[in-house]
Amino acid sequence: MTDSARGLSPTTITSLLADTSPYLSCDDCFAQIDEYVERQIADPHYEDPAMKAHLLGCGACAEEAETLRELLREDAG
Protein backbone atom coordinates (compact mmCIF):
# COMPACT_ATOMS: atom_id res chain seq x y z
CA MET A 1 0.00 0.00 0.00
CA THR A 2 1.38 3.42 -0.87
CA ASP A 3 1.76 6.28 1.60
CA SER A 4 -0.90 8.34 -0.22
CA ALA A 5 -3.46 5.53 0.08
CA ARG A 6 -2.98 5.36 3.83
CA GLY A 7 -4.11 8.98 4.14
CA LEU A 8 -7.55 8.40 2.63
CA SER A 9 -10.42 8.44 5.07
CA PRO A 10 -13.11 5.76 4.94
CA THR A 11 -15.57 8.42 3.73
CA THR A 12 -13.26 9.39 0.87
CA ILE A 13 -12.76 5.77 -0.13
CA THR A 14 -16.52 5.14 -0.07
CA SER A 15 -17.10 8.22 -2.24
CA LEU A 16 -14.46 7.13 -4.74
CA LEU A 17 -15.95 3.65 -5.01
CA ALA A 18 -19.60 4.73 -5.13
CA ASP A 19 -21.67 3.67 -8.11
CA THR A 20 -22.39 6.91 -9.98
CA SER A 21 -24.97 5.55 -12.37
CA PRO A 22 -27.23 7.02 -13.50
CA TYR A 23 -24.75 9.79 -14.25
CA LEU A 24 -25.46 13.40 -13.30
CA SER A 25 -22.88 16.15 -13.77
CA CYS A 26 -22.18 18.82 -11.16
CA ASP A 27 -23.80 21.41 -13.47
CA ASP A 28 -26.94 19.28 -13.76
CA CYS A 29 -26.93 18.67 -10.02
CA PHE A 30 -26.59 22.36 -9.23
CA ALA A 31 -29.47 23.18 -11.59
CA GLN A 32 -31.76 20.71 -9.78
CA ILE A 33 -30.54 20.86 -6.19
CA ASP A 34 -33.09 23.42 -4.94
CA GLU A 35 -36.05 21.37 -6.13
CA TYR A 36 -34.48 18.13 -4.89
CA VAL A 37 -33.94 19.42 -1.35
CA GLU A 38 -37.37 21.04 -1.20
CA ARG A 39 -39.01 17.77 -2.30
CA GLN A 40 -37.02 15.77 0.24
CA ILE A 41 -38.07 18.10 3.04
CA ALA A 42 -41.72 17.90 1.96
CA ASP A 43 -41.58 14.11 1.49
CA PRO A 44 -38.78 12.23 3.32
CA HIS A 45 -39.45 9.21 1.06
CA TYR A 46 -38.78 11.19 -2.14
CA GLU A 47 -35.96 9.66 -4.18
CA ASP A 48 -34.08 10.76 -7.26
CA PRO A 49 -31.60 7.99 -8.15
CA ALA A 50 -29.34 10.20 -10.28
CA MET A 51 -29.17 12.94 -7.64
CA LYS A 52 -28.62 10.43 -4.85
CA ALA A 53 -25.76 8.76 -6.76
CA HIS A 54 -24.16 12.12 -7.52
CA LEU A 55 -24.37 13.36 -3.94
CA LEU A 56 -22.81 10.13 -2.65
CA GLY A 57 -19.81 10.63 -4.91
CA CYS A 58 -19.41 14.42 -4.90
CA GLY A 59 -18.55 16.04 -1.59
CA ALA A 60 -18.92 19.59 -2.92
CA CYS A 61 -22.48 19.05 -4.16
CA ALA A 62 -23.39 17.05 -1.05
CA GLU A 63 -22.20 19.94 1.11
CA GLU A 64 -24.26 22.37 -0.98
CA ALA A 65 -27.35 20.18 -0.54
CA GLU A 66 -26.83 19.94 3.22
CA THR A 67 -26.33 23.69 3.56
CA LEU A 68 -29.50 24.35 1.58
CA ARG A 69 -31.38 21.78 3.67
CA GLU A 70 -30.28 23.52 6.90
CA LEU A 71 -31.29 26.96 5.57
CA LEU A 72 -34.72 25.76 4.53
CA ARG A 73 -35.30 24.08 7.88
CA GLU A 74 -34.29 27.25 9.72
CA ASP A 75 -36.72 29.30 7.62
CA ALA A 76 -39.52 26.82 8.30
CA GLY A 77 -39.02 26.51 11.99
pLDDT in tens, 10-44: 887 877 777 767 788 999 999 999 999 999 999 99
Question: With contact defined as beta carbons under 8 Å apart, do 39 and 69 qualify?
Answer: no
Residue 46: pLDDT band (50, 70, 90) is very high
| pLDDT at position 65 | 97
The rounded distance, in Å, linking the Cα atoms of 50 and 24 is: 6
Q: Measured between alpha carbons, how far is 76 from 65 in angstroms, rounded to an integer? A: 16
- What is the model's pLDDT at position 15? 73
